[in-house]
A = this chain, B = another copy of it.
Amino acid sequence: MNASSPPAGGTPKTPSTTAVTLPFQARIRKSAYFHASLKHGCHSFGVYNRTYISMGFQDPVKEYWDLLNGVVLWPVAGERQLEIKGPDASQFVQLLTPRNLDKFAVGQCKYLLVTADDGGIVNDPVCLKLGPDHYWLSAADSDIWLYARGINAMARMDVELSDPNVSVMQVQGPRSVDLMEKMFGPQVRTLKYYWCMESTLDDAPVVVSRTGWSSEWGYEIYLRDAAAGDRVFEHILAEGAEFGVQLGVVSQIRRIEGGMLSYGADMDLTTNPFEIGLGRLVDLEQSNDFIGRDALRSIAKAGAKRKIMGVSVPPPALSGFIEPWALEVNGDPVSTVTSLAFSPRLERNIGLTIVPTSLAEPGRAVSLVTPDGPVAGELQDLPFVSGRTG
């Protein structure tokens, strides 16, 4: 199937989820884009890093095709920054992660795993190096701020740790580069993958990075002046009109196709980097100290006992995925399915699961225990779709 057009027979049924109302509470943060998101039709929200995050503007299948074919804006409000500044900032960031940061240039970004002392995963941020002693860790949904505060209550390093009120807008999809060039000039077109730059947008200070959570070409805009949220939101929409820009939210379909993992779903404190296919982010030979080194050495030596795999189930689209489903092999529960979506272009259900290494064979027959009974599927290697579309 051509990625550039929906299937002729119409879009398959989107997996539905039971929904209830969400009464807004004063104690949950509203990002700079909260009011504009409501005004522009955001019909559902979740909570991410104790902040309301948009969960839907349009039909998720439409949002998926918009991402593959054009350019979409995702106000990912829950993506907050742990800011680390000060003379010991580089040493402190290195302490948090097994990735070797010796060759980390100012203006560069790196995807990191933050590990606990037992090798479990605390968070998987993108780290932006904004200055020699100045970093942002753009955090997934776990309170890395308190982890860092706990560490430094003991380590007493010369760093300032904070949660600046930065609001992130992801600009994703093949036409994102055209919109970004219009807004930030030609230098954005030459911005390398996983690099960032400081700029302004409609006079508001922003950081722009060539990163994103879509498996497609894309950028993130980090708005530093929360008071400018409404204005900047409208500005980006207006600038994008000529490119057919659409509002949307993180496409679970596309990110699962691309084998991108979601913290809290596919990894957490009980998973280690080797199990989830991210051993490349662990450097056990470096001379730098980091939390979890001894544990990760032991795990590496013993070999990972589990491996992340894709799971594929033929149509029809499965619904009711609101809890991890048990995954069975020959009738025995061996793991759970932690993410699931129906891919319109692959025309099948695709999911993620971490299975015992001995069972991690592509083609192995498995059973998913859905609320409506078991369904048959098979394991396969990740990603489901390699490379960008468009």
Contact = CB atoms under 8 A, between A and B. Distances in A.
B24 A42 contact: no
A311 to B, nearest CB: 14
Interface stretch (A141-149, A193-201, A219-227): A141-149
Contact of A19 (B23, B143, B155): B23
Nearest to A17: B23
Contacts of A56: 23
A62 interface: no
A142 B29 CA distance: 13
A42 B20 contact: yes
Integer count of this chain's copies in the complex = 2
Interface string A250-282: 000000000000101100010000000000000
Q: Interface residue tally of chain A, by bracket?
A: 35 or more
Contacts of A323: 26, 30
A153 B95 CA distance: 10
A325 to B, nearest CB: 8
B149 A27 contact: no
Contacts of A367: none
19 contacts: A17-B23, A17-B24, A17-B25, A19-B21, A20-B21, A20-B43, A23-B44, A23-B55, A26-B340, A27-B264, A28-B264, A142-B143, A142-B146, A145-B269, A146-B150, A150-B153, A150-B154, A153-B292, A154-B155
Given A27-B265, A50-B141, A153-B154, 13 more contacts: A17-B25, A20-B21, A20-B38, A23-B44, A27-B338, A117-B153, A146-B146, A146-B147, A147-B150, A149-B150, A149-B269, A150-B154, A153-B291
